[in-house]
Amino acid sequence: MTSPRRPHGWRWVAHPPWRTPLPVPRPPRPRARTGAAWGDRTPSYPATPRWGLPPVVAPRPEPPRQAGPGPTARLAGTIRWLLPAARGWLAGAAAAHLLRYAVLAWYSDRLAPWWVEAVTTALVWVTGAVALVVGLLAAVATTAWLVTRRRAAYAPERDPRRRIELWAGSLLPVVTYLRTPVYLEELRRAVVGATRAPARAPTAGRLRRWWAAWVVNGLAVALAVWRGTADGPQAAADTVLLTALALATAAWVATETLAVTRSFGDPLPRFTRRFLVRGIVDASPAREESP
């Protein structure tokens, strides 16, 4: 029994087991498969065939470009030299005011020479103006450092304080005495909680000392402004002395601020002294030689 022809030129032939199967003719050779490999002869090659893709050099992928630090981070990096510069100029302005007060006290009952008056006045105005500008720049840079440091401490989460709140709370003259210590305490707790290393954050005592310097400086500035509203030579001399005190306390604030910012970095390595054994001494009692 022969079934109808199936596709591709094949037939299905069935026969009973007691009968010899009928010879089935060989299917025709496919037209698409012609050549030496489909004939009666085994194909051979004069040399070892080398199949494969051509040698193509894949281009090396370029490393992803890392985004550079933003303007806030670049501004925060300037505190390394802005805070020492502000401390130096504030201390210099305080010294110039003290010199001016000494001149006023020395020539309280007579007229001072013109060149002494000109030199001391120029020193007071120049050092005071430069100290004011550098101090304001240092305050802005320190606020940028606070914003950047808080963003890194709270990563990958977001800082709960808004950026405008941090800038306003750290730069406004009166608000800064109440808000900036809170921001620093939150930063200290975030750093300690994230790294489990108290050495990477300032202690609470250091922050209290920094805040005390701020309060003393604020009182000195308020007292100098209040005394400057009075009239008379004595009031002018007292204003110069109080201004020198305010500038000296401002230099103290710059010193404490620099110490606080540095205390948030990595702890300093601690070196231990190790003793090397140079020899071994037998401490056992010497054996007596038998006679």
Measured CA angle at 212 (ends 207, 217), to 5 deg:
130
pTM passes above 0.95: no
Written as tens digits, the pLDDT of the chain (291 aa) is: 444 544 555 566 666 777 776 676 676 666 665 665 566 666 677 777 666 666 666 677 777 766 667 888 888 889 999 999 999 999 999 999 999 999 988 887 888 888 888 999 999 999 999 999 999 999 999 999 999 999 888 887 888 889 999 999 999 988 988 899 999 999 888 887 765 555 577 888 889 999 999 999 999 999 999 988 888 888 888 899 999 999 999 999 999 999 999 888 654 444 445 444 454 445 445 544 444
Q: Rounded distance, CA 162 to CA 9, Å?
A: 80
